[in-house]
Structure 1
Amino acid sequence: MEKLARKNKTKFLWSNDTFKEFIDACLLELKKGYRSGTHFTRAGWENIVKTMHEKTGVILDNKQIKNNWDVMKIEWKLYDCLMRIEIGICGTRSSIDASPEWWDEKIKMILFQELRASIKLIQARVSRSFKVHLRKV
């Protein structure tokens, strides 16, 4: 019954304001020491849910909060990686600001990897066909 209700729940869209409140709530729990390893403790998550409700008026469950945390970690890793290779990210968090030369190099690298994968696939198919043909002979 609970799973059915969860499936019908609409997805929460994080605005910049609610995202900022989420960051502030996480930092508050971090300062209180409610984090062990890469995630918060149970009490820390509960406090974040409570703080989000108090600050935004939105009621979120633990799964929504944890999913946002996980997505934020992935975005941070990407951002950190991009900053280390000397390109930038535009202020909207939605586009990469890099030189045309950088893009040309990345596109060439991706095309080369795709070409190499295609060649391996063709070689595997030819090899299988050849083996089947040899069995028939």
Structure 2
Amino acid sequence: MAAAVVLEENQGANNAEWTDENTRIVCELFAEQVRIGNRSNTHLNKVGYDNVIAKFEEKTGLRYQKLQFKNKWSKLRNEYNLWKKLIARETGLGWDQARATIVASDDWWARAKKDLPGCAKFKLRGIQNEHLLQQIFEDLRNTGDDHWNPTSGNLPQSSTQPSSTINVDTEAVNEGDDDDSNDEDFSPPPKRGKAAAGKEAKKPKTSGGHWFYEQMSRFVDNQEKSAASVESLVRREDTSGCAIKDVMALVKECGAVFGTKEHFIATEIFTKKSEREMFMTLDNSEERFAWLTMKHESKMAKYSK
């Protein structure tokens, strides 16, 4: 069967042809950039997108613009969030192994479509590349748009922020072209004139502007320390023997090659370090393969109850 083709409008850019194969490739590239730390906020940073553009052209022969990849990123994130909400609606449903989606009555789907507009696409076929989308978006989905990477150059939103705080366009901060956010100057504007000099001795009021700049100053003071901590964690992950790449090599070695149910469940659960560590405690390939089989059966049982 020919791969389904989806044409997307890209605000003045040429249309991008997202076949199933091209979508799989771009998901792999997005996940790769997230794993090596090139997601600065809710999007890839400039280095990440540049790498995706070059590698996608190398694999497909297609030269797409950054805007087209950003649009695809946003669409994939929306679809992943919609899928996770759909399968979390209620338990006790069946599961279609062949189509990788929920088995439910027409009435159930009618209610779902009303509550979750756009979910009808998953009635005939579940979301594709779920294990890759999980690597790209799961932590963002769990924490919401207030997800904060210490090296992103953007402060997290605070529930204790005073009501008089200055307006900040959070949509522009989180979803806009924030690739160069690490280069921004967060120093507060200098005070001017004698009046300002006279006020320096007074205790500043807790105004929105003061709160904002106080948080900025704290962030700048700790940015290098936070970045060093993150880099240290990444280095420890890469050398611990429990890195995703190392564990997936053992998955294939035990016989769980691509296309098997054991390989599929591995790509889902091994985004969690605790699962990888448990897998590494098993003594041989036979035990590892059997463990993956039981993991897959356990997940399927939840959908069939």
> Could you state the TM-score of these two structures normalised by the residue count of structure 2?
0.29
Alignment of 1:1-137 (within 5 A): 7=12, 9-86=13-90, 91=99, 98-103=104-109, 105=111
CA RMSD of aligned residues (A): 3.0
The runs of 5 or more residues in structure 2 that have no matched partner are 1-10, 116-305
The runs of 5 or more residues in structure 1 that have no matched partner are 1-5, 110-137
Q: Tell me how far 1:103 sits from its aligned partner.
A: 3.6
Q: Tell me how far 1:99 sits from its aligned partner.
A: 1.3
Alignment CA distance shift 1:29-1:103 (3 Å): closer
Q: Tell me how far 1:96 sits from its aligned partner.
A: 7.3
Partner AA of 1:101 in structure 2 = D
The DSSP-based 3-state class of the residue aligned with 1:12 is strand
Report % sequence identity.
Answer: 26
Partner AA of 1:72 in structure 2 = L
Alignment CA distance shift 1:81-1:42 (3 Å): same
Alignment deviations for residues 56-101 of structure 1 (CA, whole Å, 9 cap, x no partner): 1100000000000000011011111111014679849xx9753133
Q: Which has the higher helix share?
A: 1
Q: Tell me how far 1:31 sits from its aligned partner.
A: 1.6
Alignment CA distance shift 1:104-1:70 (3 Å): closer
> Could you state the TM-score of these two structures normalised by the residue count of structure 1?
0.62
The number of aligned residues is 101
Q: Tell me how far 1:27 sits from its aligned partner.
A: 1.3
Alignment CA distance shift 1:65-1:80 (3 Å): same
The question of whether the paired residues in 1 share the 8 Å contact of 2:86 and 2:112 is answered with: no
RCO higher in 1 or 2 (8 Å CA, sep ≥ 6)?
A: 2
Partner AA of 2:107 in structure 1 = E
